[in-house]
Each structure stands twice: as structure tokens, then as C-alpha cells.
């Protein structure tokens, strides 16, 4: 039979490990982001959290809950062109 201090220690260690695992998980954000490239003069709406490989000439905002919210945000960003570029077909 285990003593009370050992049981308490095991309970504390298990609780701490579970809490740490919960906090260590990266949140899975869902939504829309506005991603801009200052060099190219473009702003696009994407559906995944962007990774900025050139933070000097790029920017992103979001997440937005709907496509309409992302479009509204894009229209208020001064670096974004007034008319979004048509996608190539």
C-alpha cells in the first residue's frame, strides 16, 4: 500500500502534466486573414494562419470570422489597393 505523501505527489504530478499539455497545445484558429505584400502592392484574403517569411515587406491581420469581415478589413487598410487583383485563371 502506498503512503499518503506518495499518492499526493503522484496526483500533483499528473495534474501538472495534464495542465501543461493543455497550455502547450497551439490554438487552432479558424477564419480569414488579410495578407499584404508591400513590394508587390497586393492584399489577399487567406483561410489559414499565414507565416510571414519577409516581415519587413509583408503584413497580416486577422483572424476574421467571416469573409465579409475580412473584405471590410482589407478595404480599410491603406496599403491595400482599392480594387483587389483578379485571380489568374
46-55 pLDDT, tens digit each: 999 888 887 7
Tens-place pLDDT, residues 57-84: 999 999 999 999 999 999 999 999 887 6
The residues, ordered by sequence, that sit 6+ positions from 81 with a Cβ below 8 Å of its Cβ are 41, 42, 43
Please indicate whether residue 89 or residue 26 has the higher confidence score (pLDDT): 26
Helical spans, DSSP H, in the chain? 4-24, 67-76
Distances (CA, A) of 7 to 13, 18, 21, 45, 79: 10, 17, 21, 53, 60
Q: Which 8-state DSSP code applies to residue 55?
A: T
48, 79 Cβ separation under 8 angstroms: no
Sheet holding 42-46, edge to edge: 42-46, 32-37, 58-64
Amino acid at each position: 500500500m502506498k503512503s499518503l505523501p506518495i499518492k499526493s505527489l503522484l496526483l500533483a504530478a499528473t495534474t501538472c502534466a495534464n495542465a501543461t499539455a493543455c497550455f502547450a497545445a497551439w490554438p487552432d484558429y479558424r477564419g480569414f486573414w488579410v495578407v499584404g505584400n508591400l513590394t508587390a502592392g497586393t492584399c489577399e484574403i487567406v483561410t489559414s494562419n499565414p507565416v510571414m517569411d519577409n516581415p519587413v515587406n509583408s503584413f497580416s491581420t486577422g483572424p476574421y470570422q467571416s469573409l465579409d469581415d475580412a473584405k471590410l478589413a482589407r478595404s480599410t487598410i491603406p496599403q491595400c489597393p482599392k480594387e483587389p487583383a483578379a485571380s489568374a485563371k
